[in-house]
Chain A
Amino acid sequence: MSYPARAQQMQPALRIIILTELLVPLTLLVFGAYHGVLQVLYRAGIIRATSFAGIDYYQGLTAHGVINAIVLTTLFAVALGNALVTQELESPLSIFGAGLSLALMLLGAVMAAAMIFTGHATVLYTFYPPLKAHPIFYLGLALFIVGSWVAFYTWIPVYLRWRKNNRDQKTPLAVVGMFATFIVWQMCTIPVAYEVLVMLLPWSLGWTPGVNVVLARTLFWFFGHPLVYFWLLPIYVLYYTMLPRLAGGKLYSDFAGRLSFMAFIVLSCPLGLHHQFADPGISATWKGIQTVLTLFVAIPSMLTAFTLAASMEYGARQRGGTGLFGWWKALPYFSRENWLFSYLFVGLVIFLFGGVTGIINASYNLDNIVHNTAWLPAHFHLTVGGPVFLGILGMSLFLISGLLNKPVGDLSTAVAIPYLWMIGTFTFSTGLFIGGLRGEPRRTNMGLTYLNPASPSYRPDWWTSTHIGAIGGVIMSLAIFLYFVVLIRTLLAPRVESSEPFIIPLSEPYHDENVRSVRNFTPWVVVACVLCIAAYYMPLRDIVRSNYPSAPAYSPASAAPLTQSTNIP
């Protein structure tokens, strides 16, 4: 075996840190998922009210986005990185660093959540100015991001030491993947940190009269698109390093994994403008250039699709599968022993549709049809709500069970959850895709007007699609409910005594190519920085030179500005 099982005991304090990083966001997910299912009911007009059980629609939508898409995903990435770096580099981590990172992230998450739940930050998770949130919300987000940086900074010295002592070896693929994840994260969070700390925080405190809205949007989307790769990359780590072994075989190609991760470093950042196709203030030419860069992401994605399919075929044949296509039948779809396979495999199936619709969204003028319609949430519930969410659910359960030495409660249910989730997301997304093409807006409490026969804005042609979406949402919530049952039963199960330390079982490579160019981060990071500057210099220069007046702040509740900007001509 080229990848020896590393039988080192994890530091007890690190174990507690990782468990906290997994269990806190899963607890918050109760609220995040609750507001998910409520939204489909509001949208279909089943709930026709501004609020339900004390929480306003847009407040719940903000909570749903912040908890599910930022808190859950980031804490999971940090937890997985902590576990994989210490295991694969066979080294303890700085408990001070890991603990500080956890403390900052928890503090930040609590601050943001407190503002959301008290109604002081009903600005959605994109927090577009000039709608203003409470300063504590912005500060909380900033602390949360800084906390995730600190986690990365505790891994870097460990990696450099390992490199020095193991000059002739390849860095373990799992570590390459986690480092790629956090290099992307580091690059893309700098502009949003500038937006939050330099532009929004002083403005929300009343120290500056207004905000440059076009600049704020552009900085946000410099972050916003790499954010989706930051969600995906830890799951790619699971796909490359765990899925082949769970399927019963090996990773088809080690090179493919390394090339994909390096390609994501290069291609994650310089393409955020494809979220701003409908924006003024940015030239159509630069939108086009970033479209081309966006579409090149299809190359590592297709390479990944090929490699994972080849790995699963190899695994299936090891398990006795035969024939040109017949081997598909030999995979452990419902295996209780290999239950994690179903979470990763089903995620991949969902991701096929997420990827195809992603290419549609990125295709420049096609955005004219789908921009800000229900099509968009339909798409990203097949990416972040598909492979990412299932990967997080499955791997969190796997790590919690392993680190606590407790068997997973009710394996039959655990195996069934991803399939139920898939039925739910496909139904949900079908409704929203159809609705989106018919013009249903996203982020809208449609039950009050468009789905309310008593309203002059009533749109009976949106009835069917919103109700298909609602059925899907209810099925999804059922899957999450079952997941919580399994999780609680696992937590309550008696501890099993074992002398074997817990290790995350990783795959060996089938082809272990030695291609030097994918073994060094530096050139890829340099190219990434050059591309970012090339892709953003001119658009940002246009925006800064245009000297837009600063926009005064507004509360979501009133059409009158909160402050008078002195700057309005």
Chain B
Amino acid sequence: MASSTLSNQEGVNPLERRVLWGATLFTLITIGFIAYSVWGLGASVPTCMNNMPVFKHGEIIRHDGKNYEIHFLAKMWKFEPSKVIVPVGSTLDVSVTSKDVQHGFQILGTNINFMALPFVLTTGRVHFTKPGIYHIVCHEYCGAAHQNMNAIIEVSDKVDDISADGLPTLDAGRSLADAKGCLACHSTDGTTGIGPSFKGIWGQTAQLIDGSTRTVDAAFVHNMILHPDANAIKGFDPVMPVVAMSDDEIEQLTEYIKELQ
């Protein structure tokens, strides 16, 4: 664009003209290298994926052979899953999103370097040929414990299949419900016990003893566990005890009940 200014009568100094052309040439060569790396070497950057549904928890999905899909959920202040072990030669389709604020997601030693933003997916593919520990670091400030937020991908020649830590699975939810004693009164197959069955209760309308109604959602489950007396359901004896559970555990139990709908 600078060249159009060069045709004026009183002229630009010839040395400067050369500098302008030289700089333009340099810029074009740089752009050429980038174009080659994109189309020739296949190294690109994340693109717009607006038609894909956003997940709400981390997950590993097995495709054929050593092809896996991993959903990383970034949340204050950990990744879900927090550790993944994959066999050497695996190809991972990695998707990242955030449950809350903005986070960063870089798998060190690979070309995966993403922003994790709420309600949007960032995706990419990585192929692991060498065994080793690949660190994942949250690289965007996400609040007070940002420096604690990291995860690991271990590429191992000793395993045949993928495995992961820190995932909220159905099994984990079930064993939690068991450990906390919930299953003594609440069945998971639809039969009514001392309390209503967990199966199918999600999203239903519950009538309370005081006559008011509530939708069984995350807030209701949370409230119920903290204040069972105030939420006693009509048709059942108000005998549910207060069970000590952390917010994370309540969340895990909620996910479990949700899965049983």
- The CA-CA distance from A567 to B157 in the complex, in Å, is 46
The interface-forming segment of A70-78, A240-248, A291-299 is A291-299
Nearest-neighbour CB distance to chain B for A377, whole angstroms, equals: 12
Chain A positions 536-550 with a Cβ under 8 Å from a chain B Cβ: 542, 546, 548-549
User: For residue A284, which residues in chain B have a CB less than 8 angstroms away from its CB?
Assistant: 44-48
A-B contact pairs, 23 of them (CB 8 A): A213-B120, A217-B102, A278-B113, A280-B49, A283-B48, A285-B47, A291-B34, A298-B23, A298-B26, A299-B24, A303-B20, A303-B23, A364-B34, A365-B43, A439-B137, A443-B140, A513-B11, A514-B8, A514-B10, A515-B8, A551-B101, A556-B143, A559-B100
Interface of A is mostly: mixed
B261 part of interface (Cβ distance < 8 Å): no
> For chain B residues 1-23, which have a beta carbon within 8 Å of chain A?
1-2, 4-5, 8, 10-13, 15-16, 19-20, 22-23
Point out the residues of chain B lying under 8 angstroms from A446, CB to CB: 147
* A559-B48 contact in complex given A302-B26, A369-B111, A371-B113, C-beta closer than 8 Å: no
A6, CB-defined interface residue at 8 Å = no
| Interfacial chain B residues near A303, Cβ < 8 Å | 2, 16, 19-20, 23
Complex alpha-carbon distance, A300 and B23, angstroms: 8
How many chain-A residues does the 8 Å CB contact rule pick out? Answer: 85
- CA A514 to CA B12, docked complex, whole Å: 8
A277 at the interface (CB under 8 A from B): yes
Q: List residues of chain B with CB within 8 A of the CB of A124.
A: 141
8 Å CB contacts to A: which residues of B37-61? 37-38, 43-50
A139-B144 Cα distance, complex, nearest whole Å:
24
Residues A299 and B23 in contact in the complex (CB < 8 Å), given A310-B15, A517-B4: yes
B residues 93-148 near A (Cβ < 8 Å) are 100-102, 104, 106, 108-109, 111-115, 117-123, 135, 137-144, 146-148
Q: B184 at the A/B interface (Cβ < 8 Å)?
A: no
CB of A213 within 8 A of CB of B16, answer no
Contact A307 B16 (CB under 8 A): yes
* CB nearest neighbor in A for B112: A368
Given contacts A439-B108, A513-B13, whether A518 and B120 have CB atoms under 8 Å apart is no
| Residues A213 and B43 in contact, CB atoms below 8 Å apart | no
- In this complex, what residue of B is CB-closest to A298? B27
The answer to whether A281 and B117 have CB atoms under 8 Å apart is: yes
Determine whether the beta carbon of A266 is less than 8 Å from that of B46: no
Docked-complex contact B23 and A302, CB < 8 angstroms: yes
B115, A279: Cβ atoms closer than 8 Å = yes
**Cα distance A291–B32 in the bound complex, in angstroms:** 12
Which chain B residues border A276 with CB–CB below 8 Å?
115
B250 to chain A: closest CB distance in Å?
12
Known contacts A372-B113, A559-B100: A449-B148 contact under CB 8 Å: yes
Complexed CA–CA distance, A489 and B81 (Å): 59
Residue pair B102, A441 in contact (C-beta under 8 Å): no
Q: A371-B113, A515-B12 are in contact. Are A363 and B30 (CB under 8 A)?
A: yes
Give chain A's interface residues, CB within 8 Å of chain B.
50, 56, 58, 61, 124, 128, 130-131, 213-214, 217, 253, 255-256, 259, 263, 266, 276-285, 287-288, 291-292, 295-296, 298-303, 306-307, 310, 359, 363-365, 367-369, 371-373, 438-439, 441-446, 448-450, 457, 459, 511, 513-518, 542, 546, 548-549, 551, 554-561
The total of chain B residues at the interface (CB under 8 A) is: 68
Asked, given contacts A302-B26, A359-B30, A542-B50, whether A364 binds B38 with beta carbons under 8 Å apart, the answer is yes
Across the interface, B117 reaches (CB within 8 A) one of A213, A559, A561, namely A213
Give every chain B residue within 8 A of A445 (Cβ-Cβ). Answer: 146-147
In the complex, whether B194 has a CB less than 8 A from a CB of chain A is: no
CA distance A58 to B34 in the complex (A): 36
Complex alpha-carbon distance, A448 and B76, angstroms? 17
Chain B hits for A373, CB < 8 A: 106, 139
Given contacts A284-B48, A363-B33, A558-B143, 14 further A-B contacts (CB under 8 A): A56-B144, A213-B117, A213-B118, A259-B5, A280-B115, A280-B120, A281-B50, A288-B38, A299-B27, A371-B113, A439-B135, A444-B141, A557-B143, A559-B143
Q: Is the CB of A278 within 8 A of B144?
A: no
Neighbouring A residues of B120 by C-beta, 8 Å:
213-214, 280-281, 548
Task: List the A side residues contacting B49 at CB < 8 Å.
Answer: 280
Nearest first, the 4 A-B pairs at minimum CB distance are A441-B139, A439-B108, A284-B47, A302-B23
In the complex where A213-B102, A368-B43, A561-B100 touch, is A255 in contact with B143 (Cβ < 8 A)? no
B4, B16, B37, B135: the one contacting A306 at CB < 8 Å is B16
B77 in contact (CB, < 8 A): yes
Check B230 for interface membership: any CB of A closer than 8 A.
no
- Say yes or no for B75: interface residue by CB 8 A criterion: yes
Contacting residues, chain A, for B26 (C-beta < 8 A): 298, 302
Contact A371 B139 (CB under 8 A): yes
Q: Which residues of A contact B144 (CB under 8 A)?
A: 50, 56, 58, 556-557
Q: Are A302 and B113 in contact (CB under 8 A)?
A: no
A391–B181 CA distance with the chains assembled, in angstroms: 69
